[in-house]
Amino acid sequence: MPDAALVRGAETTLYSYARTRTAASRWTITLHTDVHVDQAAAVVLFAEADSHDIGPNLQAQSISVPGGRAFWIRDRATLVHLDETLGTITVHAGDLDAARFFAARLVRQAMTAQLLEHDAVYAHAAALVRADRGLLIAGPKGAGKTTTLLSALRLVGGDFVTNDRLLLRRDPGSVGMVGYAWPMHLRATASTLRAVPGMNRFLPAEQRNTPAGQSTPSGKIAIEPGELRAALPNTQILGELQPTLMLWPYRSDRDFLPEPVPAAEVRDVLVRTQFFMHDPVTRTTSHRNHWLLPPDQDQTALALTTVADQLARTVPCVRIPVTDSPAALAARVTALLDQPATRPAGPGGRG
């Protein structure tokens, strides 16, 4: 496979970041597909090495080397050398499939590390931009983030930023916030794609005509952001936004009025749930995969409280019900976005 094809494949996954040439880059990644790796020797060298979970059913072993660490991913026959002193990541891929697999993932590892170094925090959130209003749709798994996002984009319009993960930090140029998409494909359940008008085109053929209410296979369907243009021809794919409104969706059988959330409650919930990345009840935490460049935990904890406080003080938050009517949901979102920007709700729930 030509190098250009590998680059195009990586850019598809890393949709939210433009390719630039700059001397200010922290990391340089070199990927080799034509250098033989002695797998038997690698297995021996890494036999007693530390083990890392680097993805679904995928492990890496690592050892310290001068300037950094070396990683051996046996199932992909791939060797990765990280030199923190020189700022280089050198990859010897076992084959072209391994090269495709790691081309985007290692770039994403490096980019995420740079954002975390600059006090960004993970948020379990979808996001869009409409008429210069940046909308965060935050909440735990199953709250209705994807349904809210797709209903608004399909029935109202706007530009797509992310479906599930966002990296938030204080905007160095203002008193507000800025969010950067953690680039990945959109994942939606069959029921969500069937409910939102025009989105059933992404369902497998055998599921498109399933009657409403009939059970369908569990799991989610992956859609690359670029593929959304088939259903959303006027939607741009953006890499960042400045939030001006945050929604906390929740599943409901009735269409209740949206409810402002007091700033103190916003801050408390965001800190306690780590921006909905952690469930304090079940003690389960959404996966943050930083096997190559793990962040400083003390810095991350401080950034979490700082960003939560800033977001709660500067961005109003509203609870909104997610019913079985995408049209009603989209109308609620539109009405909220069309309101003039206000201060976050105070202790009594009023802005």
CB 79 within 8 A of CB 30: no
Question: CA–CA separation, 114 vs 161, rounded Å?
Answer: 19
Which residues fall within 8 angstroms of residue 89, CB to CB, at 6 or more apart?
A: 27, 28, 29, 30, 80, 81, 82, 83, 106, 110, 292
Instruction: Catalogue the long-range contacts made by 233-237 (C-beta closer than 8 Å, 24 or more residues apart).
Output: 234/157, 235/153, 235/157, 235/158, 235/159, 235/160, 236/159, 236/160, 237/15, 237/16, 237/159, 237/160
CB 176 within 8 A of CB 347: no
User: What is the chain's alpha carbon radius of gyration, rounded to the nearest angstrom?
Assistant: 22
Q: What is the pTM of this model?
A: 0.89
CA distances from 74 to 34, 53, 61, 110, 228 (A): 17, 12, 8, 21, 35
DSSP string, 283-332: TEE-----SSSPPPHHHHHHHHHHHHHHHHHHS-EEEEEE-S-HHHHHHH
Q: Which CATH class is domain 121-338?
A: alpha beta
pLDDT at position 24: 62
Which residue, 194, 139, 130, 187, is CA-closest to 157? 130
> 3-state class of 38 per DSSP?
coil
CB 159 within 8 A of CB 266: no
CB 193 within 8 A of CB 227: no
Which residues fall within 8 angstroms of residue 168, CB to CB, at 6 or more apart?
A: 120, 121, 123, 177, 178, 179, 180, 243, 275, 307, 311
pLDDT at position 21: 61
> 3-state class of 130 per DSSP?
strand
- Per the structure block, which two tokens stand in for 131? 């008429």
- Taken in order 157, 161, 163, 166, the sign of the CA dihedral is negative
Residue type, 334: T
pLDDT in tens, the chain (351 residues): 457 778 888 887 887 776 666 556 788 999 998 888 899 999 999 999 999 999 888 999 999 999 999 999 999 999 999 999 999 999 999 898 999 999 989 999 998 998 999 999 999 999 999 999 999 999 999 999 999 999 999 999 999 999 999 999 998 877 789 999 988 888 999 999 999 999 999 998 888 776 555 555 557 899 988 888 888 989 999 999 999 999 999 999 999 999 999 999 999 999 999 999 999 888 888 888 899 999 999 999 999 999 999 999 999 999 999 999 999 999 999 999 998 877 676 664 444
CB 108 within 8 A of CB 14: yes
Residue ranges of the domains in the chain? 3-117, 121-338
pLDDT at position 1: 45
Which residue, 159, 163, 178, 143, is CA-closest to 276? 143
pLDDT at position 174: 79
Which residues fall within 8 angstroms of residue 119, CB to CB, at 6 or more apart?
A: 169, 170, 299, 302, 303, 306, 307
CB 11 within 8 A of CB 24: no
Terminal alpha carbon distance of the chain: 57
CB 130 within 8 A of CB 158: yes
